[in-house]
A and B are shown apart, each in its own frame.
Chain A
Amino acid sequence: MYFESIQQLIYMDGHGVYVWSAFCISIVVMVGLIVKPLYQKKQELKNIRLHIRLQEVNREAIRQEDSNASNP
């Protein structure tokens, strides 16, 4: 390692504030670029499941109506 201690690594001769804040902001943004699409995908799967359920319920309702109409 270039630095002699962890304190020196954090302080970086006074430049630590700049270096560490630049890296922290970047890491937060990049984590967001991985987490956001994963969350979006989860939401889409939920929507599709709901869509399929609604279609099934609709089909069932139509079938019931038809059978009611044929046997009054």
Chain B
Amino acid sequence: MNLNLQWTWFHRLGSPRWFYQKTQRWLPWLSLVMSVLLVTGLVWGLAFAPPDAKQGNSFRIIYVHVPASVVALAGYYIMAIAGAVGLIWRIKLAYMLMRSAAPIGAALTFIALVTGAIWGKPTWGAYWEWDARITSMLILLFLYLGVMALRHTYSSNEAADKASAILGLVGMVNVPIIYKSVDWWQTLHQPATIKFTGAPSMHPDMFMPLVVMILGFYLFYTVSLILFARAEILRREYRASWVKQLVTDNSAEK
């Protein structure tokens, strides 16, 4: 009895209806905080932070390159864990979140690669180098694209979800490799700016806007994930009575 009570939150959390209704209320606030952080970080990083002693103004690309990379990597864990939750507890919402996380992760990895290439030109003299960090990041992009593509290879949602979740879990091996690539191999890519242990290798005037941008990107990820998940819920739950109720209520208002 007691055990049942403790687990109700878990099942409510797994209900697409609960998610759809709650996020409706959260979205305006999340979007507001996201916009404030992104605009502040952008203006601060582009116009107010001092230039790098060695790289000059080209270092300002860090304010979009590092946040996009950090969230693309964290987003992979989110996608893989959502897939695992779906496989173990057969929670529909977990699979919907896994599906929604894939295109966002792919787009952020794309941003990381493109901005990195643009940054490489004035800094290293080349747009692309087959170095360990860049190559492992490219593999991350293919993993995300693979999870996206698997959806269309099965006629049933269930089989496609399982296959995508397994691919996601297997691909998780790549994430620590990306993190460690700058330490394990001789790479052209500079070592990590932010470390979990020890002080950042950056002056606070340059570091603070980066922190603001990273937080802004995490919120952006959350908002985008919620938006994709809401569309996915409608796509899969169109037969549910609460969805029909929602649609008829909406048309009555218009």
* Residues of A bordering B, CB below 8 Å: 1-3, 9, 12-13, 15-16, 18-19, 21-23, 25-26, 29-30, 32-34, 36-38, 40-41, 44-45, 47-49, 51-52
Interfacial residues of chain B within 224-252, with CB under 8 A of chain A in the complex = 224, 227-228, 230-231, 234-235, 238, 243-244, 247-248, 250-251
Main SS class of interface, A:
helix
Q: Which residues of B contact A22 (CB under 8 A)?
A: 61, 64-65, 114-115, 118-119
Q: Which residues of B contact A40 (CB under 8 A)?
A: 228, 231, 235
B56 at the interface (CB under 8 A from A): yes
B47 at the interface (CB under 8 A from A): yes
Q: Which partner residue on chain A sits nearest B248 by CB separation?
A: A52
**What is the number of residues of chain B that contact chain A, defined by CB distance less than 8 Å?**
43
The reply to whether A9 and B230 form a contact with Cβ atoms under 8 Å apart is no
The reply to whether A18 and B111 form a contact with Cβ atoms under 8 Å apart is no
As a 0/1 sequence over residues 26 to 63 of chain B, the CB contacts with chain A under 8 angstroms (1 = contact) are 00000000000000001000111111000011101100
Question: Which of B115, B118, B227, B248 is the one whose CB lies under 8 Å from A38?
Answer: B227
Given contacts A33-B103, A34-B227, A37-B227, contact A44 B234 (CB under 8 A): yes
As a 0/1 sequence over residues 185 to 208 of chain B, the CB contacts with chain A under 8 angstroms (1 = contact) are 000000000000000000000000
Q: A15-B58, A38-B227 are in contact. List 14 more A-B contacts (CB 8 A).
A: A9-B47, A18-B118, A19-B61, A22-B61, A22-B64, A22-B65, A22-B114, A23-B42, A34-B224, A37-B224, A37-B227, A40-B231, A47-B238, A48-B247
The reply to whether B107 and A33 form a contact with Cβ atoms under 8 Å apart is yes
B19 at the interface (CB under 8 A from A): no
Cα separation A28 to B83 with both chains bound (whole Å): 29
* Residues of B bordering A, CB below 8 Å: 42, 46-51, 56-58, 60-61, 64-65, 68, 100, 103-104, 107, 110-111, 114-115, 118-119, 121-122, 220, 223-224, 227-228, 230-231, 234-235, 238, 243-244, 247-248, 250-251
Question: Which of A3, A16, A26, A36 is the one whose CB lies under 8 Å from B115?
Answer: A26
Main SS class of interface, B:
helix
Q: How far is the CB of B220 from chain A (nearest CB, A)?
A: 7
The reply to whether B231 and A18 form a contact with Cβ atoms under 8 Å apart is no
The reply to whether B110 and A1 form a contact with Cβ atoms under 8 Å apart is no
Q: Which residues of B contact A3 (CB under 8 A)?
A: 47
Given contacts A21-B118, A48-B238, contact A12 B60 (CB under 8 A): yes
Cα separation A30 to B103 with both chains bound (whole Å): 11
Q: Which partner residue on chain A sits nearest B221 by CB separation?
A: A33
Q: Which residues of B contact A45 (CB under 8 A)?
A: 234, 247, 250
Cα separation A45 to B224 with both chains bound (whole Å): 18
The reply to whether A33 and B224 form a contact with Cβ atoms under 8 Å apart is yes
Q: How far is the CB of A47 from chain B (nearest CB, A)?
A: 7
Cα separation A52 to B214 with both chains bound (whole Å): 44
The reply to whether A18 and B121 form a contact with Cβ atoms under 8 Å apart is yes
Question: Which of A23, A51, A52 is the one whose CB lies under 8 Å from B64?
Answer: A23
